Amino acid sequence: MAHRAILHVDMDAFFVSVELLDRPELVGKPVIVGFPEGRSVVLSASYDCRARGVHSAMPMSQAIPLMPEATIVEPSHHKYAQASEQIMEYFRSLTPLVEQISVDEAFLDVTGSVRMLGGPVQIAQTIREHISQNMGLPSSVGIAKNKFVAKLASTYAKPNGMAVVAPERTEEFLRDLPVSKMWGVGKKTGEQLHALGIETVGELSRESEARLVSRLGEHGRSLYLLSRGIDDRPVEVTRDEKSISAEHTFSADVSDVQVLEGELLRLSHRVAKRLRGHGRAAGGVGLKIKYRDFTGVTRTKTLGAATDSSSAIGDAALSLLHKLSPLAQPVRLVGVRAERLQDPEVGLQLSLDPKDEKVREAERMADLIGQKFPQSLVTPARFLRPPE
Ligand SMILES: [Mg+2]
């Protein structure tokens, strides 16, 4: 069987690199992207900061003392979303098989593009040059026969590099890697493997499948296969949805603002639930109103931080409604739209307010219960339709 050619492209210190485009005086200096105060966390750090132990998701209060001379740049996610869109669009011009896995990372299956664009290594080189020359951004690329190895290779290549793992050298490449570098090996699994005396991927590959399954369940089976460089997961094309919306036409035209508010909250909840289902977050919210005479208005609001929360989207929709009141005429239709969809991690990390986190947790829980028991109609009380 011919091998697939999979690329994993990962932008280097993406948020920092994007910020440097507007702040050239900071090039080559230590930079941390994040809010300097409160409970904010590091969203991205330049490599010299990383060398001192600063990493993403670390509380700023912990990061700043490690690199006091670093310039703190406040995040502007619309810039990251825009750059991300441009990069992903470019990937899709090379192959239809693009799986975006975060704002700055994607898998490309270029098996079918090889004849047109040159070998996988040539394609990877073209990608790095294109992104660097056209956008001024550094990236790293891993090239391998499957997603698992390609992702490890890009990590190995960082920063601003490229690593090729030829199919026949896959096991050799994996042999000495610590198991903690493997996909799906978190702290807990790492400890379980350690207890079995397994530290490297090579050691893992010498275990029997039966023993791993008896200790780790089904997860043990997939780790067994991965450790031997076996990963048949396809590159799954992620759809490029631009927005998610929901609307409602009233049976009789409505002038009562409270009724409109209730309906907007219900629609916001529906939209947010779909966002969460798709693993997306909205960077903006749109409100659509159609009046009795079929004329309409739309209004949009850019959010401070991208969100997938029903209450945050509801709040934005209500504030748009309140800006329009008093309404020109009775309303026949209202709609809510989540726009500027992006990867949740861009925005959600920005607001690590425990209160927001609790709301998100509650909403996710309601989604889960709703999936398991579709009849249960779990809806936060605020989003229930008021009695008419
Ligand atoms: Mg990255």
13 token code pair: 């210190």
Cα–ligand 1 centroid distance for 82 (angstroms): 15
Catalytic site residue from 19, 105, 207, 363: 105
User: Would you say domain 172-227 falls under CATH 1.10.150.20?
Assistant: yes
Q: Measured between alpha carbons, how far apart are the two ends of the chain, in Å?
A: 65
What's the sign of the alpha-carbon dihedral 187, 189, 193, 199?
A: negative
Separation in Å, CA 77 to CA 74, 80, 106, 238, 383: 10, 5, 18, 21, 29
Cβ–Cβ under 8 Å, residues 311 and 273: no
Give the pTM.
Answer: 0.66
pLDDT tens for the chain, 388 residues: list them.
579 999 999 999 999 999 999 999 999 999 999 988 766 789 899 999 999 999 988 889 999 999 999 999 998 877 888 898 899 989 988 998 999 888 899 999 999 887 778 899 999 999 999 999 999 999 999 999 999 999 999 999 999 999 999 999 999 999 999 999 888 788 889 999 999 999 999 999 999 999 999 998 888 999 999 999 999 999 988 766 678 889 888 989 999 999 999 999 999 999 998 888 777 889 999 999 999 998 889 999 998 888 889 999 999 999 999 999 889 899 999 999 999 888 765 444 444 455 566 666 667 666 666 555 544 444 444 544 444 3
Ligand 1 centroid to residue 13 C-alpha, Å: 6
105: annotated active-site residue = yes
**Domain coordinates in residue numbering, the chain:** 8-144, 172-227, 244-383
Task: Return d(Cα 350, Cα 362) in angstroms, integer.
Answer: 19
Q: Which CATH number fits the domain 244-383, given the four candidates 3.40.30.10, 3.90.650.10, 3.30.60.50, 3.30.1490.100? A: 3.30.1490.100
Sheet holding 105-109, edge to edge: 98-102, 105-109, 6-11, 139-144, 162-164
Domain spanning 8-144, CATH class: alpha beta
* Distance between Cα 225 and ligand 1 center (Å): 26
Cα–chain-centroid distance for residue 107?
A: 14
